[in-house]
Structure 1
């Protein structure tokens, strides 16, 4: 399996499929690059070089005690890009991965990045504070950490319901998709899973969004129960210079089913233009 070794010794797994203009896909918490299997094939079939990595602590990557924070995630991504010598790069990030690619592009990607796509992404900042009064209260994130520590297996099974909107009338997400969410979650190291909650909820990406100078397509479901659209995409679009926002009616946080099909078509249209 292909790995790079980062400057602090972490081993980062990645998959590399197809040939053409490179596209890197960054996954959400608590998943890994397997979450992008359909998109990897779609992109490679369309003539792109599709690459997805497992964030440190997740999936097949190593589980270092330190570095489970957004600055280090972005640095790891920068070192992967440099190791593969990627240019004219397209970035795609879901949820936590949306924050990772935005921070990478703003702080490391100058001259390398051509376009960005985010879906259900965490920027600009999730947690409620005096500066962000309509954010999600810190108690919600404390509850996630407590659930991970108490019984992570059951917690991931339960979380898959809201993640995919299975708790909504008429939901069509399969049990298999929910089981795969659990499977991927169980591959995350406990320390990484715990620390990443702070990374995705308390990191402020405001300045990163404002610094972006390339086109960005911001996708978000209006029934996202994990990253509410009103405190994420609808704020992010006001901060970027070259942004397009598309709202997917009734779509949940997890990318599956009809939402996945429509988003896939929109991604191809955006990156091929």
Structure 2
């Protein structure tokens, strides 16, 4: 994988698929995963003529594991440096889960001068944490539990998340895919322990409300209504209220990991949005 070096000397690895003269799509992954989690979308869109770039966030996958800077501001600035280093323009940014926070904070900090379209897929904005101003969020105890699990046995934590709520395999009648479970676990374990631990705070406690208000490009929001990780009411539907021009697509019965469980439907929805 090629890479860039950020201003604070962090190596960010990225994939660059498809025709180099095609319209550019950047895919930002979720926690604790890496760019490989987007492979089904990346291959589909590259085959359709798009130049698809998917990076490993700092501390995840094949990128460097810095002790500091595991927060949304650094994630967004890393993305900006990747876009600048490759001299990309008219980019369509899609973020899944934590990646949705990354691209949203990118807009908040760097604007939309290089952006054509925006996509939030099972994304964490506007705010996951329950507060007085955000009563529909999840209590801090949920995230404290994830942190405790990470410190105690993060390998087991990743197995439990993947075999349970992430893909909806804990629902009655569900047929678990061992391949999806193993891929989630493997990607998570390639990330740095400190980095993925710090990222829990980043994705759960960052308030993206003001960033979303700066969305002035065509926007697609896709969310499953059975998302047990990032509940739709506090996320997809709340983001729609802050970005009124956005198109919200609700996947009935869809879990959090729709990039895998609903890959074909999502691929075609993303392509239709890009072509619209």
Q: TM-score, normalised by structure 1?
A: 0.98
SS across alignment from 2:213: helix
Pairing partner for 2:84 from 72, 82, 85: 82
SS across alignment from 2:255: coil
Give matches, 1:47-196, under 5 Å. 47-160=49-162, 161-196=164-199
Contact residue 173 and residue 256 of structure 1 kept, 8 A: no
Q: Residue by residue, what CA displacement relative to the aligned partner does 1:198-228 show, whole Å, maximum 9, x if unpaired? A: 0000000000111110011000000000000
Distance between the aligned counterparts of 2:254 and 2:128, measured in 1?
Answer: 19
Distance 1:18 1:200, change over 3 A: same
Contact residue 40 and residue 260 of structure 2 kept, 8 A: no
Aligned residues: 273
Q: Residue by residue, what CA displacement relative to the aligned partner does 1:52-90 show, whole Å, maximum 9, x if unpaired? A: 000000000000001100000000000000000000100
Q: Residue by residue, what CA displacement relative to the aligned partner does 1:242-266 show, whole Å, maximum 9, x if unpaired? A: 2010100001001255511111110
Equivalent in the alignment of 1:251:
254
Distance between the aligned counterparts of 2:208 and 2:53, measured in 1?
Answer: 24
Distance between the aligned counterparts of 1:119 and 1:260, measured in 2?
Answer: 12
Alpha-carbon RMSD: 1.0
Equivalent in the alignment of 2:24:
22
Contact residue 73 and residue 105 of structure 2 kept, 8 A: yes
1:209 aligns with 2:212: yes
Task: Give how far 1:109 is off.
Answer: 3.8
Distance between the aligned counterparts of 2:38 and 2:261, measured in 1?
Answer: 16
Task: Give how far 1:170 is off.
Answer: 2.2
Distance between the aligned counterparts of 2:145 and 2:178, measured in 1?
Answer: 24
Distance 1:22 1:256, change over 3 A: closer
Contact residue 221 and residue 248 of structure 2 kept, 8 A: yes
SS across alignment from 1:195: helix
> Which aligned runs of 4 or more in structure 1 are off by greater than 6 angstroms?
none
Q: Residue by residue, what CA displacement relative to the aligned partner does 1:99-152 show, whole Å, maximum 9, x if unpaired? A: 101111232143110101111100000101111122100000000001011001
Which runs of no fewer than 5 residues in structure 2 stay unpaired? none
Pairing partner for 1:219 from 212, 218, 222: 222
Contact residue 41 and residue 259 of structure 2 kept, 8 A: no
